[in-house]
Structure formats: structure tokens, C-alpha cells
């Protein structure tokens, strides 16, 4: 089996490396990024999404947002122009569920299967190959490509028909954003009252408030390390898709809307390329303090 991989950014590159490590033959393409490190590991470089599809049985896309996926799959020199009948597109991007369904229907007319399989876990989990992967599409198709997903993730969950994976990812992104905002409020409050934030972290991490988000993000906050594992501008994109989907379904999500405005404020301050743990910077600015580890 030959796997095509389109989109080799922060997430896609380590995911592709894990597939190579697992013994798969890869054909890779990125419109903007160099792929020489993957070629040195045994991958073959292609010059377009069309060329990737022509040489692959399974094509993976890992791109920023809906327009990028539509361009790579349905646009000029796109996957649809090169894909052979019965090939499978696995879109691992986080995009609007309605767009997943749109692309699925167009590909189906050409005899091409599609799965939406967005991921959670950020760059560290992508490197480890322990991502959580949420899958939508035909269940038989899912079972065919599940061994591939297992080389990139440790939690692979079939969620339902096409679009269900991205809907589940939107739910995930609500929880992550609100969790980071709650952590930020709590740490700023405790720091302002004179309690060492490291002490607060150690005191509550084993209780009901403990979470994977807390374990991943509080150490970054305490170190003042906002190097992006998942950028603020990407979380803005995800929450915009969440709000759009919620409005289509007549589902009010006021807390998500509030966090979206916090992220927009950070973007206005020029911080959109920082990790989303930098949500705390919004609260620090309001309270006129920094939450950092106390070095003794």
C-alpha cells in the first residue's frame, strides 16, 4: 500500500514520520513547506495534490481549514483529478462538518471514498503517535483504514457518518478552550492573592479539577513557554466553525462565544501565533500580573 500525505506542518510532519517508521511507503506534498527531511527517510516527493493521488491507494490531508482542503481535493491539480477509483481520502484536518459532507458527496460520484478523521493532542502527541482520532464516514471504510490511523494515534473512535468526526472535534475544542480559560482565571486569582501557582497546581491536579489540559498547559504557563503546539489562530478557526455549526443547528453556546472574544482580543494584541495556553495572557493583562513559577 502507498499512502499519499498532503500538508506537512506542525502536525502533519510528525504524523507522516510515524507512518514511515511503521513501514508504509509515502508520497508527500506541501504547497509551502520543504519535504527533504521526509524524503531522506524514504518518502517520495510530489509536485501537486493530483500527483500524490495518482500514486496512492490512500490519501491523507492535514491542512489548516475548510478552504485549504477544498482546494487540495477539488481544485486545479487536486486529488480528484488524480485519484484512482476505490482509493480512500482520509481528511485529518479540522474543518466544518458541512464541508466534509460536501466533499464526500462530490468524491463519491467519482468512486472515491472519504473519511473525516480530525485529531486532538497537539504536536507532542503527534510526535509520540498517541493522538486521539475522531472518525466519521462509512464504517466498513473506517475498518479498512483503521490500521493506518493506529500508527498515528492511541485512541481511535468511530463516531458515525461523514462529518461526525469533525462534529466531535468541535465538541473537543469547546472543552479545551473553556478549560484553558478556567485554568487561567483560577491561576490569576490565586496568584493575585499571594499563593504560589505551582502550589495551587499540585494541590488540585489530583482532584476533580484535574484534567489532561491542566497537565499539558499549566507547566507551559508556569515556565512562560508559549511556543505553539496548537496556535491561537487555529483555535479561532475551530471555534468559528463551532459557532457556525451551532447556529445552523439553533444551538446556543454562549461560553464558547465568550472564549472566542478572548482569543480575538489576543489576536488583536498580535499574539495569534502563540500556543493557546497564552489565553492566560488576556487575564494577566486585566489583573496586571504574570503567573509564573517561583524560582527559589
What are the residue numbers of the active site? 169
Nearest to 173 by CA among 249, 95, 114: 95
List the chain residues with pLDDT less than 70: 295-296
pLDDT digits (tens, 9 = 90+) for 234-286: 999 999 999 999 999 999 999 999 999 999 999 999 999 999 999 999 999 99
pLDDT reported for residue 293: 87
| d(C-alpha 284, C-alpha 48), whole Å | 45
pLDDT reported for residue 295: 59
Residue 114: beta bridge partners? 89
pTM for this model (two decimals):
0.92
pLDDT digits (tens, 9 = 90+) for 8-29: 999 999 999 999 999 999 999 9
pLDDT reported for residue 294: 78
Nearest to 235 by CA among 269, 270, 264: 264
In the block, cell 494577566 appears at 284
- One DSSP character per residue, the chain reads -EEEEE--STTHHHHHHHHHHTT-EEEEE-SSS--HHHHHTT-EE-SSHHHHHHT-SEEEE--SSHHHHHHHHHSTT-HHHHPPTT-EEEE-S---HHHHHHHHHHHHHTT-EEEE--EESHHHHHHHT-EEEEEES-HHHHHHHHHHHTTTEEEEEEEESTTHHHHHHHHHHHHHHHHHHHHHHHHHHHHHTT--HHHHHHHHTTSTT--HHHHHHHHHHHHT----SSBHHHHHHHHHHHHHHHHHTT---HHHHHHHHHHHHHHHTT-TTSBGGGHHHHHHHHHT----PPP-
How many C-beta atoms lie closer than 10 Å to residue 269's C-beta? 13
Amino acid at each position: 500500500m502507498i499512502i499519499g500525505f498532503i500538508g506537512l506542518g506542525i502536525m502533519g510532519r510528525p504524523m507522516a514520520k510515524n507512518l514511515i517508521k511503521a513501514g508504509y511507503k509515502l508520497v508527500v506534498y506541501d504547497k509551502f513547506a520543504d519535504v527533504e527531511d521526509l524524503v531522506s527517510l524514504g518518502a517520495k516527493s510530489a509536485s501537486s495534490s493530483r500527483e500524490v493521488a495518482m500514486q496512492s491507494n490512500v490519501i491523507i490531508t492535514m491542512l489548516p481549514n475548510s478552504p485549504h482542503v477544498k482546494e487540495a481535493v477539488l481544485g486545479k491539480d487536486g486529488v480528484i483529478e488524480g485519484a484512482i477509483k476505490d482509493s480512500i481520502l482520509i481528511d485529518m484536518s479540522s474543518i466544518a462538518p458541512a464541508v466534509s459532507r460536501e466533499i464526500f458527496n462530490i468524491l463519491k460520484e467519482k468512486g472515491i471514498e472519504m473519511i473525516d478523521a480530525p485529531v486532538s493532542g497537539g504536536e507532542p502527541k503527534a510526535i509520540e503517535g498517541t493522538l486521539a482520532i475522531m472518525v466519521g464516514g462509512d464504517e466498513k471504510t473506517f475498518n479498512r483504514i483503521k490500521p493506518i490511523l493506529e500508527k498515528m494515534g492511541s485512541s481511535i473512535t468511530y463516531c458515525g457518518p461523514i462529518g461526525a468526526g469533525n462534529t466531535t472535534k468541535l465538541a473537543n475544542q469547546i472543552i479545551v478552550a473553556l478549560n484553558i480559560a478556567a485554568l487561567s482565571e483560577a491561576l490569576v486569582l490565586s496568584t493575585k492573592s499571594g499563593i504560589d501557582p505551582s502550589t495551587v497546581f499540585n494541590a488540585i491536579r489530583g482532584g476533580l479539577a484535574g484534567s489532561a489540559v491542566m497537565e499539558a498547559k499549566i507547566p507551559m504557563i508556569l515556565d512562560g513557554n508559549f511556543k505553539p503546539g496548537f496556535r491561537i489562530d487555529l483555535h479561532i478557526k475551530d471555534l468559528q466553525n463551532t459557532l457556525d455549526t451551532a447556529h445552523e443547528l439553533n444551538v446556543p453556546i454562549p461560553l464558547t462565544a465568550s472564549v472566542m472574544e478572548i482569543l480575538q482580543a489576543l489576536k488583536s494584541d498580535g499574539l495569534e501565533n502563540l500556543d493557546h495556553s497564552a489565553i492566560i495572557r488576556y487575564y494577566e493583562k486585566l489583573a496586571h500580573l504574570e503567573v509564573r513559577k517561583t524560582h527559589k
